Structure 1
Amino acid sequence: MDLPTFDLSTIVHATDQFSSRNELGKGGYGPVYKGVLSNGTEIAVKRLSKNSDQGLQEFKTEVQLIAKLQHRNLVKLLGCCIQQEEKLLIYELMPNRSLDYFIFDDARRKLLDWTKRFHIISGTARGLVYLHQDSRLRIIHRDLKTSNILLDEDMNAKISDFGIARTFAADQTEAKTKRVMGTHGYISPEYAVRGSFSMKSDVFAFGVIMLEVVSGRKNRDFRVPDQNLNLLGHAWELWNEGRALELVDESVRDSVIEVEALRCIQIGLLCVQGRPEDRPNMSSVVHMLDDDKPLPRPRLPAFYSHQEDSSLSNHTIYSANEVTMSLLAAR
């Protein structure tokens, strides 16, 4: 591996013996700890849980993939530690934690004005262009969500958590799996129902994130009273009625640039269209964000039938931290 290795004693010392005071969070892989190396470098240490079903394979995937990736909008893997029974991944520390830490909290969301939100959207889009198009490997993330968008000291977005990512050949456009892994609310319909995933699956998840950042609302928990609409359906109806600005989070109404917000909503709706072939690629999304040319008219978003697809009710949630793994037979 072209990846530095750390001695276990170094990491134990840096995290104060994996003290609970230094725990930043916990995912399906295991807990993540803050640490400080002897030279003063702050690190985040992801520790494989001994009873994690998904951890070992995620560890291998992350080491194999992210060690080869370098981009300002991807979190940097500093090294790993495989010693005794410990398997650790060591990352640069993101002092502002993750995007969901801010936008879904009533108090902290006010710290993200419109300029910061647009900056985060743009940075995430550029990171995905690198994964899909510009890196040495063509990578499908497969679990893009607000909790996997980390924020550095300047609120720059960095995509993280490549444990279930897959690589594509240069001429490959689609793959299928019988084991659907991801997070409910961000999984595209073709992946959830047929086990089919592609770059357009990541585009769908990015569209959900865009609408969540604009609105400050979580797609999986959002419901309109007396209607069976999720956030995507609500955004679609507001946009069709010419009331799209009502989607904007109240905490940024004073700072919002309306033309940018309307553009973000329309791009988000283009990304979450039901048919993958209708969605733009991420390179086009970046151009749309940077440009002021007229945008295509979006078609119906996925899951807009006023009822959930019955196939989606078969998913099994293995953890309470929004990590969802579905076991669905591909058709």
Structure 2
Amino acid sequence: MAKLYEEEDPHVAVRAAGGGGGEDLSYMSPEYAIRRTMTAKADVYSFGILLLEIVSGRNNAEYREKEETVVLLDTAANLRARGTLGDLVDSRLGRNYDRNQTNIVLNLAMMCTEQSPSRRPTMSQVVAVLEGEKTLNNISEEIAPSISPA
């Protein structure tokens, strides 16, 4: 999922050693997919997609004929807008999961998959939430001052 990039010119991506060259667009950050611009938060986006896949038990690019969306992220965004993001949890889990932890992971995934890199947390902030050292509110407050009004 990740590529190395030249710090002096983030527009030039360098293939990682041993990489097969195949790119999976379903994990690719918008800034890289559209402009081939590598940012420090491109991997955060990919990790957010991975979190959604883990919780839902679904592949991001898996097409389901009876759904209104094609990719898992769109499904998650629609559920979040309706206030039912928890419906994304894999039904095969039944009731055998911690709803509070799942809520944290789902909302963290949504933060990681923000369209704009400036609105995403850093990987260290993500890890701090997963380890229980910070809350989603903590990292939201840390991200907010870095966003300047348009």
TM-score interval, normalised by the smaller of the two chains: 0.7 to 0.9
Greater share of strand: 1
Q: Which runs of 5+ in 1 are unaligned?
A: 1-142, 145-164, 298-331
* Structure 1 residues 186 and 167: alpha-carbon distance in aligned structure 2, compared to 1, 3 A threshold: same
* 1:276 alignment counterpart: 117
The counterpart of 1:293, out of the listed 135, 140, 143, is 135
Q: Retained in 1: the 8 A contact 2:52–2:73?
A: yes
* 2:4 alignment counterpart: 166
Deviation, 1:177, is: 3.0
- Return the letter of the residue paired with 1:274: Q
1:247-275 Cα distance to aligned partner (Å, 9 max, x none):
11112233210001011010000011111
1:10-55 Cα distance to aligned partner (Å, 9 max, x none):
xxxxxxxxxxxxxxxxxxxxxxxxxxxxxxxxxxxxxxxxxxxxxx
Q: For 1:234 and 1:226, locate their aligned partners in 2 and report how far apart those are by CA, in whole Å.
A: 8
1:106-161 Cα distance to aligned partner (Å, 9 max, x none):
xxxxxxxxxxxxxxxxxxxxxxxxxxxxxxxxxxxxx15xxxxxxxxxxxxxxxxx
- Return the letter of the residue paired with 2:4: R
Q: For 1:230 and 1:224, locate their aligned partners in 2 and report how far apart those are by CA, in whole Å.
A: 12
- Give secondary structure in 2 for the equivalent of 1:193: helix
* 1:209 alignment counterpart: 50
Q: Retained in 2: the 8 A contact 1:245–1:262?
A: yes
Deviation, 1:222, is: 3.8
1:51-107 Cα distance to aligned partner (Å, 9 max, x none):
xxxxxxxxxxxxxxxxxxxxxxxxxxxxxxxxxxxxxxxxxxxxxxxxxxxxxxxxx
Deviation, 1:224, is: 6.5
Q: For 1:287 and 1:224, locate their aligned partners in 2 and report how far apart those are by CA, in whole Å.
A: 38
Q: Number of aligned residue pairs: give it.
A: 132
- Return the letter of the residue paired with 2:75: H
Deviation, 1:178, is: 7.4
Q: Retained in 2: the 8 A contact 1:223–1:230?
A: no
* Structure 1 residues 200 and 224: alpha-carbon distance in aligned structure 2, compared to 1, 3 A threshold: farther
For 1:12-27, list aligned pairs within 5 A: none
Q: Retained in 1: the 8 A contact 2:41–2:122?
A: yes
Identity in percent = 28
Deviation, 1:238, is: 1.3
Q: Retained in 2: the 8 A contact 1:189–1:274?
A: yes
**Runs of 4+, deviation exceeding 6 Å:** none
For 1:145-294, list aligned pairs within 5 A: 165-166=3-4, 169=7, 175-177=10-12, 182-223=23-64, 225=66, 227-291=68-132, 293-294=135-136
- Give secondary structure in 2 for the equivalent of 1:196: coil
Deviation, 1:246, is: 1.1
* Structure 1 residues 262 and 193: alpha-carbon distance in aligned structure 2, compared to 1, 3 A threshold: same
- Return the letter of the residue paired with 1:177: V
Deviation, 1:242, is: 2.1
* 1:300 alignment counterpart: none
Q: Indicate the structure (1 or 2) with the bigger Cα radius of gyration.
A: 1
Q: For 2:83 and 2:27, locate their aligned partners in 1 and report how far apart those are by CA, in whole Å.
A: 26
Q: For 1:269 and 1:254, locate their aligned partners in 2 and report how far apart those are by CA, in whole Å.
A: 23
- Give secondary structure in 1 for the equivalent of 2:61: helix
Q: For 1:166 and 1:209, locate their aligned partners in 2 and report how far apart those are by CA, in whole Å.
A: 20
- Return the letter of the residue paired with 1:209: L
Q: For 2:37 and 2:30, locate their aligned partners in 1 and report how far apart those are by CA, in whole Å.
A: 9
Q: For 2:63 and 2:122, locate their aligned partners in 1 and report how far apart those are by CA, in whole Å.
A: 26
Greater share of helix: 2
Deviation, 1:168, is: 5.4
What TM-score, normalized by structure 1, do the two folds share?
0.36
For 1:117-136, list aligned pairs within 5 A: none
